[in-house]
Amino acid sequence: MRRAAALAATGAVLAVLVAGVYWWQARPGEGPADAAVRVVTPERRTVASSVLATGVVRLRVGAEVRVGSQVSGIVRELNVTVGSHIDRGAVIARIDSRGIEARLAQARAQIDVIEQDVARARVELARVQRLEEQRLVAESEVEDRELALAEATARLEKARRDAAVVETELGYAVIRAPIAGTVASVTTQEGETVAASFTTPTFVTIIGDDALQLVAMVDETDIGGVAPGNPVGFTVEAFPAEEFRGHVERVAPKGTIISGVVNYEVMIGIDGSAELLKPDMTANVTIETAQREALVVPNEAVLREEGTRYVLVQTEAGAERREVVVGARAGGVTEIRRGLAPTERVLVGAVRQEN
């Protein structure tokens, strides 16, 4: 019985000690928070005005190019696969060109034949002109030879143009990349026969290296400060810890009404590498519209109560509550737009904050 009573008494003492420690730590005005109270003077710093918006990563107009064949034939060589990167001017495919080469050889042979006809016509014209000077042939004979030379010369010009057309077709047998980019799709294989009689068959689809841009929807109340060249920072849901940079390229001249609110499309060029970005990704966008001098205090100095922001100013009579209008908040400081003078002394850490 004595042992049980001793244990009960010891438990009661421990309970009183624990309750006392808890009460001491919970007393307002005497915890570690009050020990960290300090006085600061507002500073003047350069802060950036910004506009917040949401946007979507999209392909630029003309960034997706479909490459096809302008001549018919068998695909003799195909050098690309889906997902591969290709440089501008690189060979994508080759069409069997033996038929075109035969036509070109025939056209060049025809040129040689007509060149001989032109040379013969010149010789006959010169001979007739000498006879005409001696009054040995009629004048009409000279005219006939001049017409014959002109006709042969015209046929020679036509033959050369026909050969140039065939040479152009021969160049089309080698299909090259018009832009540098990534191959998005391949719709043919080696050994297949393509026919380009009515429409140009698509071989591959290429998405250009600078194909992506960001399109942000900015509310009409904020669009006045947005201009080409404004710096832009944005994040996407897939990589929330990665911040991408860009710049405003242009602002749409016509608004778009969404749920009764007028918004304007802002086209944003992406600076640096965009390998992580994909079309149709949603982005949270911050457009830096201007920089200005502003009065700032540490974030901990700005207190909140029922939606009202205020600071505690040190005066001769003690701490005075002063309601303020705040602005941008970044880098550990908050902009004070109205309600505080640069020479006033502000208490930091005086009470527990709710922000």
Tell me if 92 is assigned to some domain.
yes
pLDDT of residue 9: 47
Range of the domain at 278: 51-61+210-291
Question: Are the C-beta atoms of residues 274 and 59 closer than 8 Å to each other?
Answer: no
pLDDT tens for residues 300-346?
889 988 878 999 998 888 888 999 988 777 778 888 888 898 889 99
Question: Are the C-beta atoms of residues 163 and 115 closer than 8 Å to each other?
Answer: no
pLDDT top residue among 133 and 157:
157
Q: Tell me which residue of 170, 169, 218 sits closest to 50, measured CA to CA.
A: 218
Q: Write the CB contacts of 312 (distance below 8 Å, at least 6 apart in sequence).
A: 301, 303, 319, 320, 321, 322, 346, 347, 350, 351
- Largest Cα–Cα separation, the chain: 165
- Are 69 and 204 in a shared domain? yes
- Are 254 and 326 in a shared domain? no
| Residue type, position 180, single letter | A
pLDDT of residue 89: 92
| Residue type, position 31, single letter | G
The lowest-confidence range among 22-26, 57-61, 180-184, 343-347 is 22-26
pLDDT tens for residues 214-261?
999 999 988 988 999 999 999 999 998 898 999 999 999 998 888 888
The lowest-confidence range among 24-28, 204-208, 216-220, 249-253 is 24-28
Tell me if 134 is assigned to some domain.
yes
**Domains held by the chain: number:** 4
Tell me if 330 is assigned to some domain.
yes
Tell me if 41 is assigned to some domain.
yes
- Are 239 and 134 in a shared domain? no
- Rounded to whole angstroms, how far apart are CA atoms 70 and 231? 44
Average pLDDT over every residue of 129-146: 85
Domain CATH number, residue 69:
2.40.50.100
pLDDT of residue 57: 94
Phi-psi region of 259 (alpha: psi -120 to 50; beta: other; left: phi over 0): left
The lowest-confidence range among 89-93, 175-179, 188-192 is 188-192
Tell me if 139 is assigned to some domain.
yes
Percentage helix, strand, coil for the chain under 3-state DSSP, each rounded to 5: 30, 40, 30
The two structure tokens encoding residue 50:
């910004």
Which of 95-104, 130-139, 287-296 has the largest mean confidence? 95-104
User: Residue 310: how many CA atoms within 13 Å on its side-chain side?
Assistant: 14
For residue 32, is pLDDT > 90?
no
pLDDT of residue 13: 42
pLDDT of residue 306: 80
**End-to-end Cα separation, the chain, in angstroms:** 56
Tell me if 340 is assigned to some domain.
yes
The two structure tokens encoding residue 18:
């624990």
Tell me if 162 is assigned to some domain.
no
- Are 83 and 193 in a shared domain? yes
